[in-house]
């Protein structure tokens, strides 16, 4: 449970609100008329069977997909259609279901790239290096080293990420997202394919990010145990539709959700 | 009909003919790309190499004559009067198959799971190697190639078209090269043959399966490596045909390998995986080039044939990055 | 005591970010630079200048530029020859229109002109990827060469269609034209290349370099974490063409002195630069130099060996040359896709551990 508990989740401000979102690819309807919100400081889980439209939902939130219908309101402001890098500069960071690290670069460079949106020196300063550009680099390096310490990956700082084992790659990807100091962090199956121990580590990191930095998190996860432990509220998707929304306990008691997970055939 | 209109028709016809030549080279690209996902930049040089070998066999040249002379001081340019055309063509085909085998053995085998762009660059290296090898084996002078393909203007067609012009206008009839017509027919036959091959033979079906899915191909019971050798051999055959046509037309020389560069915009229009696409793309580029030279050329000083095709391809790509016949690219993450 | 890290601990991030983190390597590098600037000029002669050192420096510059685009930003270009032509013709027009202009300024401004042209031809990269883009850059290659052939304004209506570099002095010494002493042209080229190699290093080790590499490694993810593709790609095209333009300007002004576009800047030059980058090492500053050195020296060596020693005809030597180059490209792609620079790194690592391999 998140530690930002000055107020109960239900009374905190709304950070992100999606209204009546529909998205289709040609004939395939990936998302049908979905609405939900994410409150400041909470961990919001998005669950559902494969192909339910969870990843597509995250892609809509950070501007990679453009829904045919619906609106997105971020920090109280209705958000126009935007490109992904705009979403990033507005405080939305992301990890990916299939690892999308920059394979040719070291751990350090991957995470430093995540800070790109916060660095200001232009090409000419960079060309000169000595002076402002170098100072800026060092400043941000310090911030990145804190993240490296936080994620306990000091020993692989200079290793090309392509050579790292899967679990560590997932961790570096989290680091890259954190480096942007996001206000909303989208995690797409951060624990998929991990063993028990790795999952526990990752859960701890997610909780710590939420409590220490106060970052709001949207989390897609299949392991129900993890979801129940981590999240404040859960939204459940199935075949592109929302079939449940509420606290973990409420969702667990919801008949539609139980049916969806038990594979009751649709009429 | 007015002479202007007849000129227009003549230009279009000539464009179609040279378009067929581009299509012939593009066809080789498509075959290899479909079966192995490799963008074979060396296709043009393969055509050159095939043509050089063919001339060498026809005229009875000793391979590496210059080199042998340089090393051993033995002066041996020719070993006889040469071979009959049919035998020489068969001989060249054997060389091309051997080449396909070696390419698979020495190059492709080691690059199986590499990214497409790495394979692309490897074929650029291959192009250079073959170019050097061809020159070293057969010498780099321009050679005439004559295996009896009819050539020269068609008087019959000239007479026919002269009749079409309006009474009293001084129009002398259309020029069409018999060689171009032959090339068009050969290309058409080749396309039909390849389609039949890929539809109705076991091997052809296996090749198509590979294009879709490597696992599926394995289940057909033919190893991937064999398939690659076969595909490259077929591409070698297409290269030989293209080499004969181009060589008969303008002599066997280095510039022949540059038609590979012309085939690239053709592929962009037609898509990398579509045989009809290669044909249509070639025709569009051929006609477009000739018409542009006729109507736009004089405005800007001519010789725009050098770049027109690429600019068309570029502009076209901006609208349809996937080509004329390709599926829309949807990116996912 | 080469390559010993012992006692070489980093105490600050600045020290950790140095170009040469190991002290002995730093010393070696500077010794090399001092020799290049202060020793070589005393021994250089015409042959070394025109056949080895200037070609090496000019091609290093072009390879640096292309490596920024291909090796760092992952955008394959076959337009290098065309962009070098832009640099050369810009230099010619600047020299003849402003006879008083300092030659170094001419060279740098020519790079600037090429950067603008490069940005224009880079725009398609926003929609076109991979070898589709490579083909699109061919449009630049052929179009540009055609332009310089077709419009006499570019060659000041000279009868031959050639451009010829007028004599220009630097500190009273001619550095272009037939009267320029080898040491002077060499020092100009060396200075330019040295400065821009350093700038290239700076650009690639900071934010912009990381953004280029992010686009190269995974463009979609890069955009989602905040790299703007437009800026990253166009800046790579700009910087790359800037370098290549400078290479073209030097190629014309201090190397050949007179050029004609079709031969000097044809598609073969584009491939040549690409090969240098592959052989040297994609995404490596050092690799650009190694690749350029390799491909400049190889023909010289082959020629000395086959023509000079064995007495063969020159065309046999040149056929061997293209064969060997082609074979090497394949060899490197198979065995060491990271090129000579990686071989050097591995050797260093071995040296560092020597004589205790573990
Ligand atoms: N780029 C795309 N093109 C076509 N269909 C897509 C694309 N992205 C997602 N889909 C489809 O949308 C549906 C939802 O997919 P996704 O959001 O990845 O599901 P989940 O993450 O819940 O497993 C699936 O049917 C998928 O095939
Ligand atoms: Mg998913």
Supply the ipTM of this predicted assembly: 0.91
pLDDT band at A265 (very low <50, low <70, confident <90, very high): low
Show Cβ contacts of residue B289 under 8 Å, excluding neighbours closer than 6 positions. Answer: B15, B18, B305, B308, B309
Chain C partners within 8 Å of A119 (Cβ): 207
Alpha carbons within 13 A on the beta-carbon side of C181: 10
pLDDT digits (tens, 9 = 90+) for B83-110: 788 888 999 999 999 999 999 999 888 8
Chain B partners within 8 Å of A25 (Cβ): 330
Rounded Cα gap, residues C285 and C68, in angstroms: 9
For ligand 1, residues with CB inside 6 Å are: A 25, 28, 30, 48, 50-56; B 330, 332
- Supply A187's token pair: 């995690």
In this prediction, residue A4 carries a pLDDT of 46
**Number of domains within chain B:** 1
Chain C nearest C-alpha distance from A131 (Å): 12
Q: Do C206 and A176 touch (CB under 8 A)?
A: no
- Indicate which residue's Cα is closest to atom 1 of ligand 1: B332
C267 or B261, greater pLDDT: C267
CATH number of A1-91+182-267: 3.40.50.300
What is the rounded average pLDDT of the residues B37-61?
Answer: 88
In this prediction, residue C181 carries a pLDDT of 92
Query: How remote is the CA of residue B275 from the centroid of ligand 1, in Å?
Result: 31
The reply to whether B320 falls in a domain is no
Write out the E strands in chain A. Answer: 14-25, 28-39, 43-47, 69-74, 77-79, 92-94, 184-188, 216-220, 233-238, 241-246
- Indicate which residue's Cα is closest to atom 18 of ligand 1: A55
Query: How remote is the CA of residue B296 from the centroid of ligand 1, in Å?
Result: 48
In this prediction, residue A267 carries a pLDDT of 44
The reply to whether B319 falls in a domain is no
Confirm or reject contact between B300 and chain A (CB < 8 A).
no
Buried b (16+ CB within 10 A) or exposed e, A184-196: bbbbbbbbbebee
Confirm or reject contact between B117 and chain A (CB < 8 A).
no
Confirm or reject contact between B136 and chain C (CB < 8 A).
yes
Rounded to two decimals, the pTM is 0.90
What secondary structure, in 3-state letters, does chain C show? Answer: CCCCCCCCCCCCHHHHCCCCCCHHHHHHHHHHHHHHHHHHHHHCCHHHHHHHHHHHHHHHHHHHHHHHHHHHCCCCCCCHHHHHHHHHHHHHHHHHHCCCCCHHHHHHHHHHHHHHHHHHHHHHHHCCCHHHHHHHHHHHHHHHHHHHHHCHHHHCCCCCCCEECCCCEECCEECCCCCCCHHHHHHHHHHHHHHHHHHHHHHHHCHHHHHHHHHHHCHHHHHHCCCCHHHHHHHHHHHHHHHHHHHHHHHHHHHHCEECHHHHCCHHHHHHHHHHHHHHCCCCHHHHHHHHHHHHHHHHHHHHHHHHHCCCCHHHHHHHHHHHHHHHHHHHHHHCCCHHHHHHHHHHHHHHHCCCCC
Least CB–CB distance from B264: residue in C135, C220, C311 = C135
Chain B nearest C-alpha distance from A97 (Å): 8
Backbone phi and psi for residue C24, each to the nearest 5 degrees, phi listed first = -65, -30
Query: Which ligand 1 atom sits nearest the alpha carbon of residue A29?
Result: 12
Nearest to B39 by CA among B331, B286, B268: B268
Least CB–CB distance from C329: residue in B70, B125, B265 = B125
Nearest to C232 by CA among C111, C109, C75, C115: C75
Q: Which of A46, A50, A55 to mutate to test the pocket of ligand 1 (most atoms within 8 A of CB)?
A: A55
Q: Do A133 and C224 touch (CB under 8 A)?
A: no
The reply to whether B174 falls in a domain is yes
Query: How remote is the CA of residue A53 from the centroid of ligand 1, in Å?
Result: 6
Residue extents of the structural domains in chain C:
44-266
Nearest to C281 by CA among C128, C60, C125, C101: C60
Digitized pLDDT (tens) for each residue of chain C, 358 residues in all:
445 554 455 667 777 777 777 788 889 999 999 999 999 999 988 889 999 999 999 999 999 999 999 999 999 899 999 999 999 999 999 999 999 999 999 999 999 999 999 999 999 888 888 778 888 898 899 999 999 998 999 999 988 889 999 999 999 899 988 889 999 999 999 999 999 999 999 999 999 999 999 999 999 999 999 999 999 999 999 999 999 999 999 999 999 999 998 889 999 899 999 989 988 998 999 999 999 999 999 888 888 888 888 877 888 888 888 899 899 889 888 887 778 888 777 777 777 666 555 4
Q: Do A98 and B333 touch (CB under 8 A)?
A: yes
Query: Which ligand 1 atom sits nearest the alpha carbon of residue A56?
Result: 17
pLDDT of B213 > 70? The answer is no
In this prediction, residue B188 carries a pLDDT of 82
């Amino acid at each position: 449970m998140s530690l930002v508990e000055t107020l109960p989740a239900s009374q905190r401000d709304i950070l992100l609100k999606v209204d009546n979102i529909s998205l289709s690819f040609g004939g395939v309807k990936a998302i049908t008329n979905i609405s939900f919100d994410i409150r400041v400081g909470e961990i919001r889980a998005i669950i559902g069977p494969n192909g339910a439209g969870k990843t597509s939902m995250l892609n809509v939130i950070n501007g990679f997909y453009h829904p045919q219908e619906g609106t997105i309101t971020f920090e109280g402001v209705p958000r126009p259609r935007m490109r992904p890098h705009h979403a990033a500069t507005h405080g939305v960071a992301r990890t990916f279901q299939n690892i999308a690290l920059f394979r040719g670069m070291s751990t350090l460079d991957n995470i430093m790239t995540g800070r790109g949106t916060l660095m200001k020196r232009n090409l000419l300063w960079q060309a000169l290096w000595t002076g402002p550009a170098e100072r800026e680099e060092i400043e941000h390096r310090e911030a990145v080293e804190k993240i490296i310490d936080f994620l306990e990956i000091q020993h692989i700082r200079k290793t090309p990420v392509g050579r790292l084992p899967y679990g560590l790659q997932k961790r570096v990807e989290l680091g890259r997202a954190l480096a942007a100091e996001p206000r909303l962090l989208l995690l797409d199956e951060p624990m998929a394919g991990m063993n028990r121990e790795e999952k526990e580590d990752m859960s701890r990191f997610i909780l710590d990010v939420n409590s220490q930095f106060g970052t709001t998190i949207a989390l897609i996860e299949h392991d129900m145990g993890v979801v129940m432990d981590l999240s404040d509220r859960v939204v459940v998707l199935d075949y592109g539709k929302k079939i449940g929304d509420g606290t973990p306990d409420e969702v667990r008691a919801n008949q539609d959700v139980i049916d969806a997970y038990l594979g009751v055939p649709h009429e | 009909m007015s002479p202007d209109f007849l000129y227009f028709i003549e230009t279009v016809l000539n464009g179609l003919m040279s378009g067929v030549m581009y299509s012939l080279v593009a066809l080789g690209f498509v075959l290899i790309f479909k079966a192995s996902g490799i963008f074979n930049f060396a296709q043009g040089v393969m055509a050159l190499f095939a043509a050089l070998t063919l001339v060498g066999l026809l005229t009875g040249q000793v391979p590496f004559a210059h080199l042998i002379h340089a090393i051993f001081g033995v002066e041996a340019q020719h070993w006889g009067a040469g071979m009959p055309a049919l035998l020489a063509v068969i001989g060249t085909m054997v060389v091309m198959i051997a080449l396909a085998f070696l390419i698979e053995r020495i190059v492709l085998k080691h690059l199986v799971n590499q990214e497409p762009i790495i394979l692309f660059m490897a074929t650029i290296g291959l192009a250079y190697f073959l170019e050097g090898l061809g020159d070293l084996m057969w010498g780099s002078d321009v050679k005439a190639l004559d295996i009896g393909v009819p050539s020269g203007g068609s008087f019959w067609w000239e007479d026919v078209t002269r009749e079409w012009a309006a009474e009293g206008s001084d129009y002398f009839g259309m020029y069409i090269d018999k060689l171009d017509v032959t090339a068009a027919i050969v290309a058409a036959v080749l396309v039909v043959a390849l389609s039949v091959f890929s539809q109705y033979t076991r091997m052809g079906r296996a090749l198509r399966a590979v294009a879709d899915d490597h696992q599926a191909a394995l289940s057909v019971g033919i190893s991937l490596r064999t398939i690659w050798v076969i595909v490259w051999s077929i591409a070698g055959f297409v290269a030989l045909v293209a080499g004969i046509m181009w060589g008969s037309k303008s002599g066997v020389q280095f510039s022949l390998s540059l038609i590979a560069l012309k085939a690239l915009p053709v592929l962009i229009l037609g898509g990398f995986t579509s045989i009809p696409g290669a044909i249509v793309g070639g025709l569009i580029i051929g006609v477009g080039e000739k018409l542009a030279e006729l109507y736009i050329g004089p405005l800007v000083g001519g010789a725009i044939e050098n770049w027109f095709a690429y600019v068309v391809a570029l502009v076209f790509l901006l609208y349809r990055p996937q080509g004329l016949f390709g599926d829309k690219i949807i990116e996912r993450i | 005591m080469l390559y010993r890290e012992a006692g070489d601990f980093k105490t600050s991030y600045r020290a950790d970010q140095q170009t040469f983190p190991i002290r002995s390597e730093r010393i070696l590098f500077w010794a090399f630079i001092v020799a290049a600037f202060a020793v070589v000029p005393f021994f250089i002669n015409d042959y070394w200048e025109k056949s080895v050192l200037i070609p090496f420096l000019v091609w290093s510059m072009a390879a640096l530029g292309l490596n920024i685009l291909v090796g760092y930003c992952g955008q394959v270009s076959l337009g290098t020859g065309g962009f070098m032509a832009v640099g050369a013709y810009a230099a010619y027009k600047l020299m003849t229109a402003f006879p008083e202009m300092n030659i170094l300024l001419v060279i740098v401004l020519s790079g600037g002109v090429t950067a603008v042209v490069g940005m224009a031809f880079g725009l398609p990269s926003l929609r076109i990827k991979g070898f589709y883009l490579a083909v699109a850059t061919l449009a630049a290659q052929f179009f540009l060469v055609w332009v310089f052939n077709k419009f006499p304004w570019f060659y000041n209506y000279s009868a031959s269609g050639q451009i010829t570099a007028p004599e220009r002095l630097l500190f009273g010494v001619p550095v272009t034209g037939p009267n320029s002493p080898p040491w002077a042209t060499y020092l100009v080229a060396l200075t330019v290349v040295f400065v821009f190699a350093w700038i290239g290093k700076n650009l690639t080790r900071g934010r912009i370099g990381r953004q280029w590499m992010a686009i190269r490694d995974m463009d979609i993810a890069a955009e989602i974490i905040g790299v703007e593709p437009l800026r990253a790609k166009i800046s790579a095209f700009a910087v790359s063409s800037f370098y290549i333009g400078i290479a073209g300007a030097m190629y014309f002004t201090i190397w050949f002195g007179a050029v004609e576009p079709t031969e000097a800047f044809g598609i073969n030059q584009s491939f040549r630069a690409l090969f240098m980058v592959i052989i040297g090492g994609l995404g490596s500053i050092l690799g650009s130099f190694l690749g350029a050195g390799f491909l400049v020296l190889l023909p010289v060596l082959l020629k000395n060996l086959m023509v000079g020693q064995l007495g063969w005809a020159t065309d046999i030597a040149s056929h061997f040359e293209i064969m060997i180059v082609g074979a090497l490209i394949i060899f490197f792609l198979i065995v060491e896709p990271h090129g000579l620079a990686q071989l050097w790194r591995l050797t260093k690592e071995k040296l560092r551990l020597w004589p205790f391999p573990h």
